A and B are shown apart, each in its own frame.
Chain A
């Protein structure tokens, strides 16, 4: 079945460091891909998305490119801030008639001043 695999956390970085969180997927057809972020004690917010191959989603300095050849959607940011500390979830929309979001296990990012 369809699935999403994310790198294990926690990821601990110093402020202004470069961030990469790896995400790969297995899916039938061509899913849409998402990154959601969950700040401490809050619900999930959409960070960015891409709906077809080679699309780049971007928001708040974060970017991810839909790579069909490597089935990947890695999240990157050039310079992280303490306020970016959160859990990041990679997800795909199931390739069928339903809108079932399938999530990765989440990656905790901790940014230290």
Chain B
């Protein structure tokens, strides 16, 4: 039973396209996140939702739009893809309190050509 799952695992697309990455967690957690890992392995938070409400929105281009249809899902839609968007995107979830462990998905490797 996969706790946090992401689809697709790999995504290769052309500049200017629009794409979505889906995330689902079956842990019953209240809070979900999107992180971006660049080519140097540096990880940075992008967004966080708690009970479908946006609570963290870092300095991310507005081409990136998260959508949470329910507590178990947090999708990431990216418009007008650019070369610099190439990265690994990780979804994560946590029960919700400050010191809680965050559980990460396997990642989606996005390559923009």
Contacts and interface: CB of A to CB of B under 8 A. Distances in A.
Interface string B26-67: 000001010100001111110010000001100000000000
The interface residues of chain A, by DSSP majority, are classed as strand
By size class, the interface of chain A is 20 to 34
A32 B102 CA distance: 12
B90 A43 contact: yes
A51 interface: yes
Interface string A24-62: 000000001010101000111110010100000000000
Contacts of A68: none
24 contacts: A36-B104, A38-B41, A42-B106, A44-B43, A44-B90, A44-B92, A44-B104, A89-B43, A93-B98, A97-B55, A97-B98, A98-B48, A98-B56, A99-B31, A99-B33, A99-B94, A99-B102, A100-B56, A101-B33, A101-B43, A103-B42, A103-B43, A105-B40, A105-B42
Given A43-B106, A87-B41, A98-B55, 9 more contacts: A42-B106, A43-B107, A44-B90, A46-B102, A95-B98, A97-B55, A99-B48, A99-B98, A106-B41
B106 A100 contact: no
A75 B47 CA distance: 28
B105 A43 contact: yes
Given A49-B101, A105-B41, A99 B96 contact: yes
Contacts of A95: 98
Contacts, number: 64
Interface in B59-113: 90, 92, 94, 96-107
Interface string A89-113: 1000101011111110110100000
Contacts of B99: 32, 49, 51, 93
Given A51-B99, A89-B43, A106-B41, A100 B107 contact: no
B4 to A, nearest CB: 8
A13 B32 CA distance: 36
